[in-house]
Structure 1
Amino acid sequence: MVLLREELGDVLRSARRARGSTLRDVSARASVSLGYLSEVERGEKEASSELVASICQALDLPMSVVFSEIALRADRAERASAPVALPVANRDETVVSAA
């Protein structure tokens, strides 16, 4: 199962590291405690939209890019999981597999 908070944390951490920034740098620019930012990056806390906006601004990263990356990751994870075939009744009420 894809958890938004975990994917968000991974994307933010990757962006921060790619920019060569420390947690301390970003927490200061985003006006968020270092500990809380660390928990967000580890996927332990659900970040509010205001907090995400502040972190993205501190990283000079558009939120749309963050959410696009999360959507791509979710799509990959969903495609990698085995599809579940559900029984479907046809017109003469015979149950057939949808797969």
Structure 2
Amino acid sequence: MILLRHELGEVLREVRTGQGRTLRDVAATAAVSLGYLSEIERGTKEASSELLASVCDGLGVSLSELLGLVQQRVEHVETLRAPVTLPVGPAAGEVSASAA
């Protein structure tokens, strides 16, 4: 099962580390508790829309940009978890009705 909070946390961490920033730096810029931001990145806490907007401001990204990245990540995870369908034909040694 895909948990949105996990995917959101991973995207936040990727954006932050991609900017070469620390949790402490982003937490201070976003006016969010360091511990709470850490829990959001680890996917153990759900972020409210207000808190998420503050974190986006702290990271210098728009909410729509962040959610677009989350969408891409969720789509990727869904494809990894999708069942693989294999072509089904007659078993070895069986003759199909049309060939008989």
- TM category, shorter: 0.7 to 0.9
Which residue does 1:8 correspond to in 2? 8
The offset of 1:47, in angstroms, is 0.3
Counterparts of 1:1-99 in structure 2 under 5 Å? Answer: 1-83=1-83
* AA in 1 matched with 2:51: L
The offset of 1:78, in angstroms, is 1.5
Number of positions where the alignment pairs a residue of Structure 1 with one of Structure 2: 85
The offset of 1:82, in angstroms, is 3.3
The offset of 1:48, in angstroms, is 0.3
Q: TM-score, normalising length from structure 2?
A: 0.78
1:15-63 CA-partner distances (Å, limit 9, x unpaired): 1111111111111111111000000000000000001100000000111
Structure 1 stretches lacking a partner, 5+ long: 86-99
In structure 2, distance between residues paired with 1:66 and 1:2: 18
The offset of 1:84, in angstroms, is 9.2
* AA in 2 matched with 1:21: R
Identical residues among aligned pairs (%):
55
Q: TM-score, normalising length from structure 1?
A: 0.79
* AA in 2 matched with 1:42: R
**Which aligned segments of 4 or more residues in structure 1 are displaced greater than 2 angstroms?**
82-85
* AA in 2 matched with 1:4: L
In structure 2, distance between residues paired with 1:21 and 1:82: 35
Choose between structure 1 and 2: higher strand proportion: 1
In structure 2, distance between residues paired with 1:23 and 1:82: 34
In structure 2, distance between residues paired with 1:23 and 1:71: 23
